[in-house]
Amino acid sequence: MLKIAHRGAKAYEPENTLQAFQKALDLNSDGIELDVHLSADGHIIVIHDETIDRTTNGKGEVNTFTLAELKSFLIDGKYQIPTLNEIFDLVDKKCLINIELKGLGTAPKVVALIEEYIAVKNWKYEDFIISSFDWNMLEETSKLNPKIPIGILTEEDIETALAFAEKIKAKAIHPDFQLLNAENVSEMQKKGFLVLPWTVNSEEDIQKVKSYKVNGIISDNPDKI
Protein backbone atom coordinates (compact mmCIF):
# COMPACT_ATOMS: atom_id res chain seq x y z
CA MET A 1 0.00 0.00 0.00
CA LEU A 2 1.82 3.09 -1.29
CA LYS A 3 1.27 6.29 0.67
CA ILE A 4 1.45 9.12 -1.86
CA ALA A 5 1.40 12.74 -0.67
CA HIS A 6 -0.95 14.85 -2.83
CA ARG A 7 0.69 18.13 -3.96
CA GLY A 8 3.14 17.35 -1.15
CA ALA A 9 1.63 16.80 2.27
CA LYS A 10 -0.96 19.45 1.43
CA ALA A 11 -2.81 19.11 4.72
CA TYR A 12 0.23 20.42 6.57
CA GLU A 13 2.13 22.83 4.27
CA PRO A 14 1.16 25.00 1.28
CA GLU A 15 0.59 22.75 -1.75
CA ASN A 16 3.33 22.14 -4.32
CA THR A 17 6.08 23.83 -2.28
CA LEU A 18 9.49 22.46 -1.30
CA GLN A 19 8.20 22.60 2.28
CA ALA A 20 5.19 20.42 1.43
CA PHE A 21 7.42 17.85 -0.27
CA GLN A 22 9.90 17.90 2.63
CA LYS A 23 6.96 17.29 4.99
CA ALA A 24 5.92 14.33 2.82
CA LEU A 25 9.43 12.89 3.17
CA ASP A 26 9.37 13.53 6.94
CA LEU A 27 6.09 11.56 7.11
CA ASN A 28 7.80 8.62 5.36
CA SER A 29 5.60 8.87 2.28
CA ASP A 30 6.30 6.30 -0.41
CA GLY A 31 5.61 8.89 -3.06
CA ILE A 32 4.71 12.48 -3.81
CA GLU A 33 2.25 13.80 -6.38
CA LEU A 34 2.75 17.20 -8.06
CA ASP A 35 1.42 19.25 -10.99
CA VAL A 36 3.43 20.93 -13.74
CA HIS A 37 3.13 23.81 -16.20
CA LEU A 38 5.73 25.59 -18.35
CA SER A 39 7.10 29.10 -17.78
CA ALA A 40 7.39 31.54 -20.71
CA ASP A 41 11.08 30.64 -20.99
CA GLY A 42 10.46 26.88 -20.99
CA HIS A 43 11.17 25.83 -17.39
CA ILE A 44 9.03 23.14 -15.75
CA ILE A 45 7.12 24.85 -12.97
CA VAL A 46 5.45 22.96 -10.10
CA ILE A 47 2.03 24.54 -9.63
CA HIS A 48 -1.52 23.24 -9.86
CA ASP A 49 -3.48 26.02 -11.56
CA GLU A 50 -2.93 27.67 -14.95
CA THR A 51 -2.63 30.96 -13.09
CA ILE A 52 -0.70 32.06 -10.02
CA ASP A 53 -3.76 33.86 -8.60
CA ARG A 54 -4.97 31.34 -6.00
CA THR A 55 -1.65 30.24 -4.52
CA THR A 56 0.63 33.31 -4.70
CA ASN A 57 0.52 37.07 -4.16
CA GLY A 58 0.65 37.64 -7.93
CA LYS A 59 -1.83 37.52 -10.77
CA GLY A 60 -1.61 36.10 -14.27
CA GLU A 61 -1.04 32.95 -16.28
CA VAL A 62 1.98 30.83 -15.39
CA ASN A 63 3.12 30.49 -19.01
CA THR A 64 3.29 34.28 -19.49
CA PHE A 65 6.03 34.71 -16.86
CA THR A 66 9.72 33.79 -17.02
CA LEU A 67 11.16 31.64 -14.26
CA ALA A 68 12.84 34.70 -12.71
CA GLU A 69 9.49 36.52 -12.65
CA LEU A 70 7.69 33.52 -11.16
CA LYS A 71 10.33 33.33 -8.42
CA SER A 72 9.49 36.90 -7.38
CA PHE A 73 5.97 35.89 -6.30
CA LEU A 74 5.41 34.41 -2.85
CA ILE A 75 3.23 31.62 -1.53
CA ASP A 76 1.87 32.37 1.97
CA GLY A 77 4.16 35.42 2.05
CA LYS A 78 7.36 33.35 2.32
CA TYR A 79 7.72 30.41 -0.06
CA GLN A 80 8.71 30.44 -3.75
CA ILE A 81 7.15 28.45 -6.57
CA PRO A 82 9.51 25.51 -7.18
CA THR A 83 10.80 24.04 -10.43
CA LEU A 84 10.63 20.31 -11.12
CA ASN A 85 14.46 20.12 -10.96
CA GLU A 86 14.34 21.51 -7.41
CA ILE A 87 11.86 18.84 -6.36
CA PHE A 88 13.94 16.06 -7.96
CA ASP A 89 17.00 17.32 -6.05
CA LEU A 90 15.07 17.52 -2.77
CA VAL A 91 13.63 14.02 -3.14
CA ASP A 92 16.95 12.57 -4.33
CA LYS A 93 15.49 9.10 -5.02
CA LYS A 94 14.00 8.80 -1.52
CA CYS A 95 10.47 8.18 -2.87
CA LEU A 96 8.38 7.80 -6.02
CA ILE A 97 7.58 11.04 -7.89
CA ASN A 98 4.17 11.19 -9.60
CA ILE A 99 4.29 14.07 -12.08
CA GLU A 100 0.87 15.18 -13.29
CA LEU A 101 1.14 16.94 -16.67
CA LYS A 102 -1.22 19.93 -16.61
CA GLY A 103 0.22 22.59 -18.95
CA LEU A 104 0.49 22.11 -22.70
CA GLY A 105 4.01 21.33 -23.86
CA THR A 106 5.06 19.74 -20.58
CA ALA A 107 5.40 16.15 -21.90
CA PRO A 108 8.65 16.51 -23.92
CA LYS A 109 10.27 18.71 -21.25
CA VAL A 110 9.44 16.28 -18.43
CA VAL A 111 10.56 13.26 -20.46
CA ALA A 112 13.89 15.00 -21.20
CA LEU A 113 14.41 15.85 -17.52
CA ILE A 114 13.66 12.29 -16.41
CA GLU A 115 16.06 10.95 -19.04
CA GLU A 116 18.74 13.38 -17.80
CA TYR A 117 18.35 12.28 -14.15
CA ILE A 118 18.50 8.61 -15.22
CA ALA A 119 21.57 9.13 -17.42
CA VAL A 120 23.52 11.52 -15.21
CA LYS A 121 22.30 11.00 -11.64
CA ASN A 122 21.64 7.28 -11.61
CA TRP A 123 17.88 7.49 -11.10
CA LYS A 124 15.66 4.66 -12.37
CA TYR A 125 12.46 4.71 -14.42
CA GLU A 126 10.68 3.19 -11.40
CA ASP A 127 11.42 6.41 -9.49
CA PHE A 128 8.81 8.19 -11.63
CA ILE A 129 5.24 7.91 -12.83
CA ILE A 130 3.70 10.43 -15.21
CA SER A 131 -0.05 10.98 -15.08
CA SER A 132 -2.53 13.34 -16.73
CA PHE A 133 -6.20 13.88 -17.42
CA ASP A 134 -5.03 14.91 -20.90
CA TRP A 135 -4.58 11.47 -22.46
CA ASN A 136 -3.06 12.98 -25.63
CA MET A 137 -0.12 14.10 -23.50
CA LEU A 138 0.14 10.57 -22.05
CA GLU A 139 0.21 9.09 -25.55
CA GLU A 140 2.87 11.66 -26.49
CA THR A 141 4.90 10.66 -23.41
CA SER A 142 4.66 6.99 -24.27
CA LYS A 143 5.80 7.65 -27.85
CA LEU A 144 8.72 9.79 -26.70
CA ASN A 145 9.93 7.11 -24.29
CA PRO A 146 7.89 3.92 -23.77
CA LYS A 147 9.97 3.01 -20.69
CA ILE A 148 8.53 5.86 -18.62
CA PRO A 149 5.79 4.54 -16.29
CA ILE A 150 2.38 6.08 -16.97
CA GLY A 151 -0.72 6.43 -14.80
CA ILE A 152 -4.07 7.10 -16.47
CA LEU A 153 -6.04 9.74 -14.57
CA THR A 154 -9.81 9.45 -14.76
CA GLU A 155 -12.74 11.06 -13.02
CA GLU A 156 -15.37 9.59 -15.33
CA ASP A 157 -15.27 6.00 -16.39
CA ILE A 158 -13.09 3.05 -15.40
CA GLU A 159 -13.76 0.95 -18.53
CA THR A 160 -12.57 3.68 -20.92
CA ALA A 161 -9.49 4.30 -18.78
CA LEU A 162 -8.78 0.57 -18.72
CA ALA A 163 -8.97 0.35 -22.53
CA PHE A 164 -6.63 3.32 -22.91
CA ALA A 165 -4.23 1.88 -20.29
CA GLU A 166 -4.03 -1.32 -22.35
CA LYS A 167 -3.54 0.65 -25.57
CA ILE A 168 -0.54 2.65 -24.33
CA LYS A 169 0.75 -0.07 -21.98
CA ALA A 170 0.39 2.08 -18.87
CA LYS A 171 1.64 0.99 -15.45
CA ALA A 172 -1.27 2.30 -13.39
CA ILE A 173 -4.77 3.74 -13.37
CA HIS A 174 -5.39 6.73 -11.13
CA PRO A 175 -9.18 7.00 -10.62
CA ASP A 176 -11.24 9.39 -8.57
CA PHE A 177 -11.71 7.13 -5.52
CA GLN A 178 -15.49 7.54 -5.73
CA LEU A 179 -15.52 5.47 -8.95
CA LEU A 180 -14.09 2.42 -7.20
CA ASN A 181 -15.51 -0.78 -5.84
CA ALA A 182 -13.90 -4.13 -5.00
CA GLU A 183 -14.86 -5.60 -8.39
CA ASN A 184 -13.44 -2.90 -10.66
CA VAL A 185 -10.24 -2.66 -8.60
CA SER A 186 -9.77 -6.41 -9.02
CA GLU A 187 -10.53 -6.17 -12.76
CA MET A 188 -7.87 -3.47 -13.28
CA GLN A 189 -5.32 -5.41 -11.24
CA LYS A 190 -6.01 -8.67 -13.08
CA LYS A 191 -5.23 -6.85 -16.32
CA GLY A 192 -1.87 -5.90 -14.82
CA PHE A 193 -2.38 -2.32 -13.66
CA LEU A 194 -1.71 -0.73 -10.30
CA VAL A 195 -4.71 1.13 -8.91
CA LEU A 196 -3.80 4.46 -7.27
CA PRO A 197 -6.93 6.48 -6.35
CA TRP A 198 -7.08 10.17 -5.39
CA THR A 199 -7.72 12.25 -3.32
CA VAL A 200 -8.59 10.18 -0.28
CA ASN A 201 -8.42 12.20 2.93
CA SER A 202 -10.94 11.14 5.56
CA GLU A 203 -10.29 8.11 7.77
CA GLU A 204 -13.58 6.62 6.61
CA ASP A 205 -12.75 6.95 2.89
CA ILE A 206 -9.22 5.65 3.47
CA GLN A 207 -10.60 2.54 5.18
CA LYS A 208 -13.11 2.06 2.36
CA VAL A 209 -10.57 2.13 -0.48
CA LYS A 210 -8.16 0.02 1.58
CA SER A 211 -10.88 -2.64 1.78
CA TYR A 212 -10.87 -2.72 -2.05
CA LYS A 213 -7.16 -3.66 -1.85
CA VAL A 214 -5.88 -0.78 -3.96
CA ASN A 215 -2.12 -0.59 -4.55
CA GLY A 216 -1.74 2.87 -3.08
CA ILE A 217 -3.58 6.02 -2.07
CA ILE A 218 -2.96 9.65 -3.04
CA SER A 219 -3.83 11.78 -0.02
CA ASP A 220 -3.33 15.26 1.43
CA ASN A 221 -2.54 13.52 4.74
CA PRO A 222 -0.49 10.44 3.85
CA ASP A 223 0.21 9.80 7.53
CA LYS A 224 -3.44 8.72 7.96
CA ILE A 225 -3.16 5.92 5.38
Q: Which residues are catalytic?
A: 6, 48
CA distance 216 to 225: 9
Applying the rule CB under 5 A, the residues between 73 and 132 that interact with Ca ion are 100
Q: Does 171 bind ligand G3P (CB under 6 A)?
A: no
Output the residue with the shortest Cβ distance to ligand G3P. 198
Q: How far is the CB of 120 from Ca ion (least distance, A)?
A: 27
CA distance 202 to 224: 8
Q: Does 23 bind ligand G3P (CB under 6 A)?
A: no
Q: Does 35 bind Ca ion (CB under 5 A)?
A: yes
Between 77 and 224, CB nearer to ligand G3P: 224
Give yes or no for a contact between 10 and 220, defined as CB atoms under 8 angstroms apart: yes
Q: How far is the CB of 119 from ligand G3P (least distance, A)?
A: 27
Give yes or no for a contact between 197 and 176, defined as CB atoms under 8 angstroms apart: yes
Looking at the DSSP bridge assignments, the partners of residue 154 are 175
Q: Does 47 bind ligand G3P (CB under 6 A)?
A: no
Q: Does 33 bind ligand G3P (CB under 6 A)?
A: yes
Between 100 and 220, CB nearer to Ca ion: 100
Q: Does 43 bind ligand G3P (CB under 6 A)?
A: no
CA distance 33 to 131: 9
Answer for which of 36, 218, 220, 225 binds ligand G3P (CB under 6 A) is: 218
Size of the site for Ca ion (CB under 5 A): 2
DSSP line for 78-125: TBPPPBHHHHHHHHTTSSEEEEEE-STTHHHHHHHHHHHHHHHH---G
**CA count, 13 A, side-chain hemisphere, 24:** 36
Applying the rule CB under 6 A, the residues between 130 and 169 that interact with ligand G3P are 131, 153
The site for ligand G3P (CB under 6 A) is made up of 6, 33, 35, 48, 100, 131, 153, 174, 198-199, 218
